[in-house]
Chains A and B, each alone.
Chain A
Amino acid sequence: MTTTGYDPAPAAGYPDAPPRMGFFTDTSVCIGCKACEVACKEWNAVPDDGFDLLGMSYDNTGGLSANTWRHVAFVEQAAPSAASLDVLREAAEGATQFLGMPSSTLPGETGREDRDLRWLMMSDVCKHCTHAGCLDVCPTGALFRTEFGTVVVQEDICNGCGYCIPACPYGVIDQRRDDGRAWKCTLCYDRIGDGLTPACAQACPTESIQYGELDELRARAASRLATLHERGVTEARLYGHDQNDGVGGDGAFFLLLDEPEVYGLPPDPVVPTRELPSMWKHAGVAAVTMAAAAVAAFLGWRR
């Protein structure tokens, strides 16, 4: 499979850009060990994110932030089988409430009728979008596109204007509170430049996080998806792989076992800049209207 169309590094002006590099995160083999979170912090000297028991299953990190560049999400899904239902019914007799963790019900087609418990685990990361909202709106040039097609913040330029934060359709980049600047995953720019593997991919014991040339990763992902579908895991799907989606496809894409929003991902992310020409147009018309109103106001009251 070859890249068709838009390739961000050459488009950003690199004359002899190397192949685009990225992540394929196969959540079907994630064991939720969080080695990726720790390895990333160790390499990048990212501060800890606070000691808070969030009770979101085993997720005490919460989400991607300025101090968490790899975040493992946990989703417990329970739909009791017939066998356990009557035990539960008996146990619940007399109880007034069914307390439980906030868990979603199983999607319709699981392909495994005998499984009544699922625990989804997924290592989330910056998507390094082909069309990156954060990069588009950065007014200082701190955010830039590297020769590998990744998106990196230069911490010596960022002045903490904060614009990238609401611009990201995935809610990734964030401002560090006591520091003022915006921080996010660099796809270990300081490692891949020397031919090393990013820290998270290096640490992942089950190769859930795979690093490599994006074309090759996409081929691998398609093949893995086919294998899972053959085995009856019909809820498996790829996310962020489609170059025709609202961000032009992600440099870091995923294989998920349920809908994206279950993991906290937007179902149909669109880079806000896509509508920018239309926005300028509307602003232009509004500006002209304003000018016209002012002119009319003064003309109408000429002495």
Chain B
Amino acid sequence: MTREQSVVPRAEFRSYYGRPVVKPPVWRHDIAAYLFTGGLAAGSALVAAGADLTGRPALRTTGRVTALAATLASTYFLVNDLGRPARSHHMLRVAKPTSPMSVGTWILATFGPAAGVAAVAEAAPWLPPRGMLGFATRALPPAGRAAGLTAAAVAPALATYTAVLLADTSTPSWHAARRRLPFVFAGSALASGGAAGLIGADPVQAAPARAMAVAGAALEIAAAHGVETRMGLLSEPYRQGRAGRLLRAARLLTVTGAVAAIAARRSRAASALAGLALLGGSLATRFGVFEAGKQSAEDPKYTVVPQRERLSRS
């Protein structure tokens, strides 16, 4: 959509007493939180794998432990948000490519155990070298590497499928953002993974994490800017209300974090703070996107006006 089209004034529209046409998602904040923890897990897994292959043990440990913690948190959020948590295993009944949630279930089903094994492998140095556990002591490191690489291989899918999850709905501002949202989430995942590295490892080891974080931040900001400005009327919820406030805060934190990450590359403390800012920015981005979707569903104009425009064009 051109810049001109994005500022065409909204036409008069009709609705049924101003009520929503589509239903806003019933997901609670658990899902917004999961968007963050899922991305964090993915980014951390990449950091961990990269660290593993380039001999950065502290960074590797940080990455692996963060990946597991984020995965456990993700699992909690996903199960808790269900209407019937006791039936969460019903997700495993089918594997449906038309359902991003089904695809995501299997992505997580692969990533989770892999991240788990990789993280457990970090405990190998503390295990006794002989005896029953001695086998584990010897098997864990290579198992951990294999698992960690598996997790890293799946990580980009884990980070971006959630964008498809949101976009594959009738929620107007999510569906409209379907081309850009994967890049927002990819960038956000990179940024949070890198940020974890900045917090958990010394600046020298964490240098690649810093690069990842800055690259991710740039990708996130660029893609988000497109979402916020280039979708015409459907960009509006990303700029207004609670969503707007969250996304503006997110941008501030992300930019601050990225700049600080570069400027403070020699200071452990400053790097950690930069990492925290980046994490905060990533969290705010996810919540902002989540809120924007809900806002776009609650006001019927976001459903009716673009559809009317589409009809009048055809």
Contact A264 B22 (CB under 8 A): no
Which B residues touch A289, using CB under 8 A? 183, 186, 219
How far is B190's CA from A294's CA once the two chains are assembled, in angstroms? 8
Contact B98 A162 (CB under 8 A): no
Which A residues touch B152, using CB under 8 A? 294
B294 to chain A, nearest CB (A): 9
Partner of A293 from the list B16, B23, B216 (CB cut-off 8 Å) is B216
Interface size class of B (residues with CB under 8 A): 35 or more
How far is B159's CA from A288's CA once the two chains are assembled, in angstroms? 11
Could you give, for residues 265-300 of chain B, a 1 whenever the CB lies within 8 Å of some chain A CB and a 0 otherwise?
000000000000000000000000000010001001
Contact B50 A162 (CB under 8 A): no
Which B residues touch A171, using CB under 8 A? 20-23, 170
Contact B98 A136 (CB under 8 A): yes
Contact B22 A169 (CB under 8 A): yes
A272 with B169: in contact, given A73-B16, A279-B178, A290-B156 (CB under 8 Å)?
Answer: yes
Question: Which chain B residues numbered 189 to 212 have a C-beta less than 8 Å away from chain A?
Answer: 189-190, 193-194, 207-209, 211-212
Partner of A136 from the list B25, B42, B83, B99 (CB cut-off 8 Å) is B99
Which B residues touch A181, using CB under 8 A? 83-84
B154 to chain A, nearest CB (A): 10
Which A residues touch B20, using CB under 8 A? 171
Contact B82 A160 (CB under 8 A): yes
How many CB-defined contacts (below 8 Å) exist between A and B? Answer: 259
How far is B90's CA from A62's CA once the two chains are assembled, in angstroms? 32
User: Which stretch, B124-132, B138-146, B256-264, B303-311, touches the partner chain A?
Assistant: B303-311
A159 with B91: in contact, given A136-B99, A261-B16, A279-B178 (CB under 8 Å)?
Answer: yes
Partner of A137 from the list B24, B88, B168, B208 (CB cut-off 8 Å) is B168
Contact A286 B183 (CB under 8 A): yes
A sample of 7 cross-chain residue pairs with beta-carbon separation below 8 angstroms, ordered by A number, consists of A139-B102, A161-B81, A163-B101, A170-B22, A261-B21, A261-B304, A276-B98
A237 to chain B, nearest CB (A): 13
Partner of A261 from the list B164, B194, B300 (CB cut-off 8 Å) is B300
Q: Does B215 contact A (CB under 8 A)?
A: yes
Top-6 shortest CB links A-B: A160-B83, A180-B83, A264-B16, A287-B156, A286-B182, A159-B87
Which A residues touch B101, using CB under 8 A? 137, 139, 161, 163
Which of B21, B27, B209, B219 has its CB near the most chain A CB atoms (within 10 A)?
B21
Q: Does A283 contact B (CB under 8 A)?
A: yes
Which A residues touch B94, using CB under 8 A? 139-141
Beyond known contacts A102-B18, A161-B81, A169-B22: 18 more, CB 8 A cutoff: A138-B96, A140-B90, A141-B96, A158-B83, A158-B90, A159-B87, A165-B25, A264-B300, A268-B308, A276-B100, A279-B163, A283-B161, A287-B186, A289-B186, A297-B215, A298-B50, A298-B53, A302-B54
Q: Does A75 contact B (CB under 8 A)?
A: yes
How far is B142's CA from A265's CA once the two chains are assembled, in angstroms? 58
B243 to chain A, nearest CB (A): 15
